[in-house]
Structure 1
């Protein structure tokens, strides 16, 4: 029996994730195995191992006798996921407030200053990128690999939705205020305050997405 290299199928899985997150394989798209094998210059075996990985992660769904399709994220999925990720990232903020060193907080303060500059200049993509760095930093400062692992899995699912909450008028300013509230609690070593502020931040992000969905529906009807 041929043994498939673990590193090969993991590399294929990462390349497939990139195709999904970049929109080359959009939600609902059929995964054409022969075409992907040709595109990626691989055999069917590592591709199928990679498809199993992505199916387990929730990025793909497998239909018997039909094959794999890119998962589609519904409003209910978002309603189900956001409270969970708010709890998890809230706990990260709690633990970060207790664990972070003064030097680490100073470094995080510099990132928040950059976030504020992007908000003032209305640099939306730069704001998104810096926002991501802040969330990642707080997860890292929590120093809890189990929290980090589950959050990473949920974030993969959320990326399928290609969320753009900053398109809602006033959301960037609100988001910045929420981030500053989290950071103020971290600096004060207020673990419970940091947890509550982070949970509020993520719940409000879900609300902004709900508003955006209503606005987009109104534009389509109009």
Structure 2
């Protein structure tokens, strides 16, 4: 009985650690946590209303992802992403996602593709309503769910990691200027091309979409 209780506690602790890590990623993307700045675990814990332990654990997870780096006796510094980094991440995503979209267009069922529609619509809704966190989560879900239709789990894992590393530091400013809406609407355009069985058109749309996202990063800078 004691072992079962301990196991439950460990699971709850891990869940809190994951929730804090997710919140920290969102804060980096929105620009609340700035690159180059050092943040202490106790200070962030106070903001989140939790103890410092899950924050430290979450920060260690983000360190392994390359999002932050430890600063002795001070906390963690949010790593900076250079223009070269963004170009290289975008190039890798293009090499993976563009041909995969073509493949999925040829092999996925109509039902599988239609299941993506509510998520694509959620991206547009969130962009129009300035729901930044909702926008980011729906965008992540759409892209990774689409890639999952390829049946390649490692591919999805790789793109998921790349997405974590390509934070949009100025996203909140772009959101205020409604510059996210055109990019959001491209998800519905892509879905319609895939449903029509237009693999070449879908690949071209994904290429344009990734280029659009990269231009948003440049404007955010």
1:77–1:101 distance in 2 versus 1, CA, 3 Å: same
- Which of the numbers 168, 172, 176 marks the counterpart of 2:181? 172
Q: Does 1:62 align with 2:70?
A: yes
TM-score by length of 1: 0.67
CA distance in structure 2 between the partners assigned to 1:160 and 1:203 by the alignment:
14
Counterpart residue number, 2:7: none
Q: Number of residue pairs matched?
A: 205
Counterpart residue number, 1:128: 135
1:6–1:209 distance in 2 versus 1, CA, 3 Å: same
Q: Secondary structure at the match of 1:161?
A: coil
CA distance in structure 2 between the partners assigned to 1:208 and 1:160 by the alignment:
8
TM-score by length of 2: 0.67
Q: Is the contact made by 2:170 and 2:217 (CA closer than 8 Å) also made in structure 1?
A: no
CA shift for structure 1 position 9: 5.7
For the pair shown, the structure with the greater C-alpha radius of gyration is 1
1:180–1:7 distance in 2 versus 1, CA, 3 Å: closer
Q: CA RMSD in A?
A: 4.0
Q: Secondary structure at the match of 1:200?
A: helix
CA shift for structure 1 position 88: 2.4
Q: Unaligned regions of 5+ residues in structure 1, if any?
A: 214-222
Q: Is the contact made by 2:124 and 2:184 (CA closer than 8 Å) also made in structure 1?
A: no
- Which of the numbers 48, 51, 70 marks the counterpart of 1:41? 51
1:188–1:54 distance in 2 versus 1, CA, 3 Å: same
Counterpart residue number, 1:102: 110
CA distance in structure 1 between the partners assigned to 2:94 and 2:153 by the alignment:
17
CA distance in structure 2 between the partners assigned to 1:185 and 1:211 by the alignment:
28
1:209–1:6 distance in 2 versus 1, CA, 3 Å: same
Q: Is the contact made by 1:12 and 1:50 (CA closer than 8 Å) also made in structure 2?
A: yes
Q: Does 1:90 align with 2:95?
A: no
Counterpart residue number, 1:207: 215
Q: Secondary structure at the match of 2:38?
A: coil
Q: Secondary structure at the match of 2:104?
A: helix
CA distance in structure 2 between the partners assigned to 1:64 and 1:180 by the alignment:
47
CA distance in structure 2 between the partners assigned to 1:91 and 1:8 by the alignment:
40
